[in-house]
Amino acid sequence: AGGVNCWKESPCQNLYSDMLKRNKGLAPVVLFDLFFFHRSVARNRISQVIDDDQLKILEETGILHVAADDVTSKVRCYPVGGLYFLCDPSRDKPDFVYIGWDSDLMVNIAAKYCKGRRFSRSLDLCTGSGVQGICLSRQAEEAVCADINLRALAMVQANARLNKIRNVATIHSALFSSIPGRFDCISANTPYVPHPEGAQLPI
């Protein structure tokens, strides 16, 4: 229904899970466990929601890890701004792609300030998963998402396809260094917790 999701911290998870299952069936509960909480889900439970052919496709594309008894997702999926976004489940890779509470906040702020406007070209700098850029692409003729992280750009392309959005282009760039042309809307949720010299990507 929008707003901040409190399910993760709630002591009433089982109650909410039962209510969701009663109102919407088993599929949303299983998929929420698999993709949002990043929990292993029993194979027999998964088979009630995802058939063997679909499971094989998701395994071959690197989205799921399928074992004899359970299934684990290699990505997380978050709903933001009425769309779905894939990201890494943890920060254990040096080039991780992350979605945080501030991503959702930025989408809401951009929606507020850009309401009713159309853009010829929009740019999302330090795009990460592409949350801001893809959400703003609904108001732009052309949306450019730029990042120094190549995995982030691959994630943007996957997220654009996931949401059937076709006007998003990606550019590999350190800030503005490789970005041509002019833009009438620029968003940026830059890394904001610096790491020491020589460290991995900042947060």
Report pLDDT digits (tens) over 167-178.
Answer: 999 999 999 999
Q: Is the pLDDT of residue 96 over 80?
A: yes
Q: Is the pLDDT of residue 198 over 80?
A: no
Report pLDDT digits (tens) over 4-62.
Answer: 455 556 677 778 788 888 998 889 889 888 988 888 999 999 999 999 999 999 999 88
Report pLDDT digits (tens) over 134-147.
Answer: 999 999 999 999 99
Predicted pLDDT of residue 98: 83
b/e map 49-59, b = 16+ CB within 10 Å: bbeeeebeebe
Predicted pLDDT of residue 5: 53
Average pLDDT, the chain: 87
Write the DSSP assignment of 21-81 as a string of letters: HHHH-HHHHHHIIIIIS---EEHHHHTTTS-HHHHHHHHHTTSEEE-SSEEEESSEEEEET
The structure's pTM equals 0.81
Taking Cα atoms as reference points, which of 163, 176, 63 lies closest to residue 107? 163
Separation of first and last alpha carbons in the chain? 29
Predicted pLDDT of residue 193: 64
Using CA atoms, how far apart are residues 148 and 125, in angstroms rounded to an integer? 9
